[in-house]
Amino acid sequence: MTQRSSSPRGEPPFLPSRIVSGGQTGVDRAGLEVAIAYQIEHGGWCPKGRLSEDGSIPSRYELVEMETADYPPRTEQNVIDSDATLILYEQRLKGGTLLTRRYATRWNKPHLSVAMDASSPAAVRVWLDRVRPQTLNIAGPRESSFPGIGERALAFLLEAFAATATEVSP
């Protein structure tokens, strides 16, 4: 049986009810994988043809194709359709990851940018408990920009989410 422990304020810990991303390799797919692991509804917008740097985005990810194969429109639509955006990165924000933050600012959406190589998953836990987004957009660099970032992001997210829900034996 899964039970959620209480936060320090006595409120139940928070997990979003839906996670979205653009489905690119790296952080996007880590976000979708953590949703699947926690049995959280997932989805989001992806480029026409389910385009990604490794070919077609796997069908196991419940994404909706845009009318265009360009990446920026799906990035913006995922920000618009979310209550908040979590950006995970390493070293510095750049490219599409930086664009995601710009869209979140433009659309006045709560967002948190976390440098995984300099921060703890605890920062994500605190932010989620404070902001409480029902639909969370998770974004960050693709694999080719930072080899192995997908695995590192998944471990980071699993740790952040595990601290908000605890397994209790019956």
Any domain includes 166: no
Cα separation, 26 vs 20, in Å, equals: 14
Any domain includes 131: yes
Angstrom distances, CA of residue 106 to CA of 72, 89, 112, 162 = 14, 20, 14, 31
Any domain includes 9: no
pTM of the model: 0.89
Domain span at 46: 18-161
Cα separation, 47 vs 88, in Å, equals: 21
Q: Which CATH number does the domain housing residue 116 bear?
A: 3.40.50.450
pLDDT per position as a tens digit, 100-159: 999 999 999 999 999 999 999 999 999 999 999 999 999 999 999 999 999 999 999 999
**In the chain, how many domains are there?**
1
Q: How many Cα atoms occupy the beta-carbon half-sphere of 35 within 13 Å?
A: 27
Any domain includes 22: yes
Any domain includes 128: yes
